[in-house]
């Protein structure tokens, strides 16, 4: 494909030539601004030897530029068979490894082993369907596959939740999870006008730099995330009540009160006021004292 796909004219022609009507259920919004495509690639910081995974390539607007930039492999994961057919015809590049699968069905450790990516420098780039943004991101992060960085186009409000600090309405379980695994940064705000069809919301390009080591020590990671879930399931309650009355775990109210007091938290404080370090400290203390009580 010699012409740039990321223009209104070429995008519409490809859709017409292949008789493709876009699916709202699949969240299909295609970029038609080459400057935004270039910005995504530049933010990703593609270097020699990088192996790139692109989620949801669609008709190849971003794929086209990535193939020009990389000298490694580009693994393009696409659910829609119509788009797979377009990509197969438009790109005859041995660097492109086209994978016709639903990204939510992928076992990421198996995928990395199958494609010999374990000891490679891997970057993940995607213009994500907004209705499944969080499940895709969390599946990748929780799999702990060796990805150096992620660059995602997401709904602006979701990006704001990922980078949110304690105390604000955007701060929640997603903020804690993303900030535990990565260092998130909103790199650019994107208007609806650069897409076909235009979404109803603004978007954001967010970069997630993965940590080599977790930013906090945890006695038990699973227990920590149970605490996080309990805090934000009932975020308007004070911390003592949200933990002692949590639906996802059983915690002794007296034990919770003692831990909060020993850590110097104010009476009536809400969990949404605690930062990552403080939640980790609280989870570790409760976990230790529960163990001591059992022993």
Q: Which residue has the higher pLDDT, 267 or 17?
A: 17
Domain chopping of the chain, boundaries: 8-210, 221-294
Structure tokens at 86: 């377009």
pLDDT in tens, 5-16: 999 999 999 999
Asked if pLDDT for residue 295 goes beyond 50, the answer is: no
pLDDT in tens, 124-156: 999 988 888 999 999 999 999 999 999 999 999
DSSP-assigned states of every residue in the chain:
--S-SSSHHHHHHHHHHTTPPPPGGGT--EE--HHHHHHHHHHHT--TT-EEEEE--TTTHHHHHHHHH-SS-EEEEE--HHHHHHHHHH---TTEEEEES-GGG--HHHHHHHTT-TTS-EEEEEE--GGGHHHHHHHHHHHT--EEEEEEEEEHHHHHHHHPPTTSTT-SHHHHHHHHHEEEEEEEEE-GGGEESPPSS-EEEEEEEEPSS-SS--S-HHHHHHHHHHHHHTTTSBHHHHHHT-SS----HHHHHHHHHHTTPPTT-BGGG--HHHHHHHHHHHHHHHHHHH-
Side-chain-side CA neighbours of residue 250 (13 Å) = 0
Please answer whether residues 54 and 126 qualify as being in contact, where contact means their C-beta atoms are separated by less than 8 angstroms: yes
Confidence of residue 24 (pLDDT cuts 50, 70, 90): low
pLDDT in tens, 180-236: 999 999 999 999 999 998 988 999 999 999 998 899 999 999 999 999 999 998 877
pLDDT in tens, 237-292: 889 889 988 888 888 889 999 999 999 998 889 989 999 999 999 999 999 988 76
Please answer whether residues 50 and 124 qualify as being in contact, where contact means their C-beta atoms are separated by less than 8 angstroms: no
Just give the CATH number of 8-210: 3.40.50.150
Just give the CATH number of 221-294: 1.10.8.100
């Amino acid at each position: 494909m010699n012409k740039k796909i990321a223009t209104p004219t070429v995008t519409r022609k490809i859709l017409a030539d292949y008789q493709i009507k876009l699916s709202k259920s699949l969240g299909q919004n295609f970029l038609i601004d080459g400057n935004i495509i270039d910005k995504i690639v530049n933010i990703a910081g593609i270097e020699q030897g990088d192996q790139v995974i692109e989620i949801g390539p669609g008709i190849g607007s971003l794929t086209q530029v990535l193939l020009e930039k990389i000298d490694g492999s580009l693994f393009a994961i696409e659910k829609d068979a119509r788009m797979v057919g377009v990509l197969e015809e438009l790109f005859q590049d041995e660097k492109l490894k086209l994978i016709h699968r639903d990204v939510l069905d992928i076992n990421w450790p198996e995928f990395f082993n199958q494609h010999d990516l374990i000891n490679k420098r891997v970057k993940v780039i995607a213009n994500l369907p907004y209705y499944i943004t969080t499940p895709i991101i969390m599946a990748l992060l929780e799999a702990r596959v060796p990805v150096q960085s992620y660059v995602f186009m997401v709904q602006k409000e979701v990006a704001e939740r990922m980078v949110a600090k304690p105390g604000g309405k955007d701060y929640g379980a997603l903020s804690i999870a993303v900030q535990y695994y990565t260092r998130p940064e909103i790199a650019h705000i994107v208007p609806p006008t650069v897409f076909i069809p235009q979404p109803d919301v603004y978007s954001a390009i967010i970069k997630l730099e993965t940590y080599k080591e977790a930013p906090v020590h945890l006695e038990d990671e699973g227990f920590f995330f149970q605490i996080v879930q309990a805090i934000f399931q009932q975020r308007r309650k004070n911390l003592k009540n949200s933990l002692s009355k949590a639906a996802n775990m059983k915690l002794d109210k007296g034990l919770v009160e003692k831990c909060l007091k020993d850590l110097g938290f104010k009476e009536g404080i809400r969990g949404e006021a605690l930062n990552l370090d403080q939640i980790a400290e609280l989870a570790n203390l409760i976990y230790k004292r529960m163990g001591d009580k059992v022993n």
